Structure 1
């Protein structure tokens, strides 16, 4: 970062003082900037908020002002958190959030250097993304198509809700697995295209238009099962949606479904389907990519469908594909090493 002649480190806080209201205001301003200008996803903003809470705690403990922080302070805080059990991935995200905050403070002319520059978290083993088998993915989709059994004690209103919940859940599962959508992309879909829409499904062309990471638009194909599920959902959506609600997927109160509600519904479906693992929305995206690569080996095409900016991000799924082939070899080949 270039030197800003007018920027000077802020004073250390007085002994016993908490983080100043001015520093709190700066951090909140930066979070607003990330939400409004950088369009970070809701979950990312939550994680950054947690990282900034750790920074507040460190500032208060060492009685420092936000603009007085130096590289040795950050190194000490990071080492302390790592020794306390914070994992490499969490530590890397925290440092990234802090680095971005000080970069922003530099542009505002409030600091002369970025105390987080050059500091890296310990390397963590990069786990393979978890994907379902084809049979398990299909079983989940089939389970989502039928309403759960309704207990006798359930109110009449809940009994009427069960069919529309099944139609909605089935459509969501088909789009997550059949088109590889991120959860934010799925939940951002509107019923129809309009100037402010962040996504919609064009049933006539069999394509979904979604606004992905980095505010980049892409089109992805929507298969026949998903189109059929979409038609079934739209046939009943009007019975529960608020009159002015544009969201394609809604909750019980008629408003746009939240990420937490989506995760909870998938958790329930996993149990009903009898799957051996908890399924989260991104696992269905992983399954989409893995199963597509197993069938086509078209890495570049899968990159386009997933909306990855770099092909190295997509290449991790080739490791999943090899893992699948290795298991088949171990199970079937007469010269395979057996335990």
Structure 2
């Protein structure tokens, strides 16, 4: 990843950011996606600071941070993106404290306006079964069905799916090892159907003379890209007549919701999803409650309003 920008509009602001990005890449070993996100947010903040005539990070105070938030909002930044920008700024300023360049973090304690919590969209079990009903011998169709089965069967993130190597799959014991956020590895059970389709895909994978140990490869033999997976899943959604747009994260959401509805075990679902905090998993309890609430309203005699 290139840290330096084509236009260094303000070296006194940009140089510390470049050092911070280098620290994240070399010492923290963050993924290229995360690095790119930090780079994008901090570049936008530098542009805003230059615009208001501030060219030294040490001169940024709480009022200046509030101004950055206000200007970002005015530029049309959504709540989630605004929170991401503020988080990047906090992390960078914490690093500056560690470097002895500032003594306090002016972004601490400043929050973005709260927005109603967005509930993830998921497919019901019938929809998922309909999507997965692909029975073709074309190798790429077999590969796609195997990816869909694994995504839904193990609740994988897209990055975890494309990052899988053959050596991480143990068909005999029916589990896979995935590397999730923060380079944390977890062992996951995979369903009978995923094992069946992995057994079909693995011999076909050799047709493409793979470059390395990547489990899922493109028709050119390279590790399949996240963009390619998104494109293929969307196409299968259309081909299979699924009403909503099919994307990888929707399958992960569906896995989580269906597991929680069936088991009610929030801690186990947290472990399976690889969430560091239980609060992240708890969003699925809202979905589960909606389901329970609708069942209650339809079934319980005392829930039927307006009737004695």
Is the shorter-chain TM-score for this pair beyond 0.5, marking a shared fold? yes
Correspondence for 1:43 among 33, 50, 56:
33
* Match of residue 59 from structure 1: 49
Q: Partner residue of 2:218?
A: 251
2:23 is the counterpart of 1:33? yes
Alignment partner, residue 80 of structure 1: 71
Change (3 A) 1:130 1:37: farther
> Structure 1: which 5+ residue stretches go unaligned?
1-16, 148-162, 193-199
User: Quick one: structure 1 residues 164 and 186, their matched pair in 2 at CA, closer, same or farther if it must change by over 3 Å?
Assistant: same
Is residue 232 of structure 1 aligned with residue 222 of structure 2?
no
SS at match of 1:136: helix
1:109 matched to 2:100? The reply is yes
Partners in 2 of 1:130 and 1:91 — Cα distance? 22
C-alpha spacing 1:300/1:18, structure 2 compared with 1 (3 Å): closer
Shift, 1:113, TM fit: 2.9
Aligned-residue offset at 1:22? 5.2
Whole-angstrom CA distance in 1 between matches of 2:300 and 2:133 = 33
**Residues 106, 114 of structure 1: 8 Å contact kept:** yes
Matched residue count: 298
Alpha-carbon offset, residue 80 of structure 1: 1.6
Secondary structure in structure 1 of the residue aligned to 2:66: helix
1:206 aligns with 2:174: yes
Displacement of 1:202 after TM fit?
A: 0.9
CA apart distance, 1:236: 0.8
1:332 Cα offset (Å): 5.9
Identify which of 123, 137, 141 aligns with 1:166. Answer: 141
Please point out which of 3, 11, 14 is paired with 1:24: 14
Using structure 1 for the length normalisation, give the TM-score: 0.81
Q: Return the match for 2:159 from 180, 184, 201.
A: 184
Provide the residue aligned with 1:297 in structure 2. Answer: 264
The residue that corresponds to 2:82 in the other structure is 91
Cα distance in 1 for partners of 2:183, 2:113 equals 30
Structure 1 Cα separation of the partners of residues 291 and 136 of structure 2: 30
Partner of 2:234: 267
Equivalents in 2 of 1:121, 1:109: separation in Å?
27
TM-score by length of 2: 0.88
Q: Which moved more, 1:58-67 or 1:116-125?
A: 58-67
Over residues 70-125 of structure 1, what are the superposed CA-to-partner deviations in whole Å (9 max), with x where a residue is unaligned? Answer: 32222112112213322221111100001111111222223333231221111111
- Note the C-alpha offset of 1:176: 0.6
SS at match of 2:186: strand
Unpaired runs of at least 5, structure 2: 1-6
